[in-house]
Structure 1
Amino acid sequence: TGTTAIFVSPSGENAILYLAGANRHVDEAYVDTVLDVIMSSSVLLMQFEIPITTIAYLLRKLPPAKPLVILDPAPAYSLSSLPTNRIDIITPNVTELESLTGTSNVEIGGKKLLNTGVKHVICKVGEEGAWLIARDQIRHFPSFHVPVVDTTAAGDAFNGALAVALAEGLSLEEGIVWGNAAGALACTRRGAQPSLPFREEVEKFLALYKYK
């Protein structure tokens, strides 16, 4: 029952009004009913459309190494209540990065997030692609240039493709390329769910650009 009102500018950029609906009721008791499934998974992708108290509870329940945890901090909230050392990858966009760290500078904001205990930061920067900020590297991954119709769900497409790539054993760098490709394809269509590409589309798109 979650509902969003999406406003799209002539250039394809968007602003979103979100009402959580049933997502607000994803609580600790519900987590306990699905914990075995989560524990047996290789990748766990979460975002802040469910209560942050539930996310904190789940992170504390997880074993140290598995599953790999990806957190999309959207909409942005303070991370202070979370055991951030259990977050393997956090994927803010620039607006969320500024909300979380007080700066839109990708390198400075990314390092601030690393200092909270998060292991890797991937900052999505729209038409410029994405940045990986880790303790041993800072690397830019350029976007794929496509005709932009609607940027709604581009970040969701990025995160989904990243999670699939990592679950299948690809490297983090390869996963970011997959994410950029899926996000680019999502921008070529209107809507949220209807814009999300199928796997075959991502693979064909990457083959066209000679990426693996």
Structure 2
Amino acid sequence: MSTLLVVGSANADHVLTFDDLPQAGETLISQQYRLELGGKGANQAVAAARLRNAKQTISFISALGDDSNAAMMRNSWAADGIELEGCYQIADQSTGTAMIFVNQQGENSIGVVPGANAYLSAVHFQQQQAKFAQASYMLIQLETSLESVKAALQLARQHQCISLLNPAPAAMLSKEILSLVDIITPNETEAYALTGVEVSDQLSASKAADYFHRQGINKVVITLGSKGAYVSEQGKGQLIPAPIVNAIDTVAAGDTFNGALMVALDEGKSLQEAVIFANKASSIAVTRHGAQSSIPYRDQLNN
């Protein structure tokens, strides 16, 4: 058996759909409202759980609030077979919350209230140190504090657990944090925030990847939406196209990609093969509404 570890956020997503996304100062009437289970960490854990093989176990470390949303989330994750010993409940705090606006083209704007996510800390990771020691890969994002991200990366490095950092939402990261990362997976916006390179094509993606390599990161995957992903390993890069689909909702597409990528790498696939697998999974997610509800199961990738 192989253990895969996801560390990060969990949110209750309030999703509103519109013809067009509201502009600054504009009030629009939403066509539909729904409550979804989300948060980048939770989405990635669910993606890994649904896309894993029979020999892989998914563990999730997160902080939930003292409310009904926390119980709903735990029940849903347990149904997907996620190991939840590392999911903490923080007294007198609400579970993280996100407001998501989605237009008819599947584009979205998201605002997040961290809630209990802000309380995930190195203390929790030390209590779950056995998980880091057992795991072959750890996947983490930036919806918890940078202090917690650094602590998790340090613990992963200490236990020779390969780390994947999905630097979302975009934030400035210190060289110290980047030096602890084995694989980084920004999108165009996040790559620009971290490198100063405006990524629009293969050439600019290569320049952004070179920046990460100079920070000591051997493997770089820059996701480019419908164009696919630029993959660079030890300075050698290529663009891997994504399947052509009719996207209706891009929420959790990146999270699906990252969860799938970790699963495939743990199976021994090359980085290029893992990206092809992840592209296929995320291309299914964008054809469905919702966050975790859009994430496919492994057997659906072959349909």
Q: Same fold (TM over 0.5)?
A: yes
Which ranges of 4 or more aligned residues in structure 1 deviate by more than 4 Å?
A: none
Q: Does 1:35 align with 2:129?
A: yes
TM-score, with structure 2 as normaliser: 0.64
1:171 pairs with one of 270, 283, 296? 270
2:284 pairs with one of 177, 185, 190? 185
Check whether the contact 1:56–1:81 (CA below 8 A) recurs between aligned residues.
Answer: no
Q: Secondary structure at the match of 1:188?
A: coil
Distance 1:165 1:22 in 2: 31
Q: Secondary structure at the match of 2:128?
A: helix
Distance 1:103 1:63 in 2: 28
RMSD: 1.5
Determine the structure 1 residue equivalent to 2:240: 141
- Equivalenced residues, count: 204
2:139 pairs with one of 37, 45, 52? 45
Report the structure number with the largest CA radius of gyration: 2
Check whether the contact 2:156–2:162 (CA below 8 A) recurs between aligned residues.
Answer: no
Q: CA deviation at 1:66?
A: 2.4
Distance 1:38 1:103 in 2: 33
Determine the structure 2 residue equivalent to 1:208: none
Structure having the higher helix fraction is: 1
Determine the structure 2 residue equivalent to 1:156: 255
Q: Secondary structure at the match of 1:62?
A: helix
Q: CA deviation at 1:117?
A: 1.5
Which one-letter code corresponds to 2:148 in the other structure? T
Q: Does 1:75 align with 2:131?
A: no
Distance 1:141 1:128 in 2: 8
Distance 1:70 1:107 in 2: 19
Q: CA deviation at 1:195?
A: 0.5
Determine the structure 2 residue equivalent to 1:209: none
Determine the structure 2 residue equivalent to 1:57: 151
Check whether the contact 2:175–2:215 (CA below 8 A) recurs between aligned residues.
Answer: no
Which one-letter code corresponds to 2:109 in the other structure? A
Structure 2, unmatched stretches of 5+, are: 1-94, 199-203
Deviation track 1:165-198 (CA, whole Å, cap 9, x = no partner) reads 1122222111101110111000000111111111
Structure having the higher strand fraction is: 2
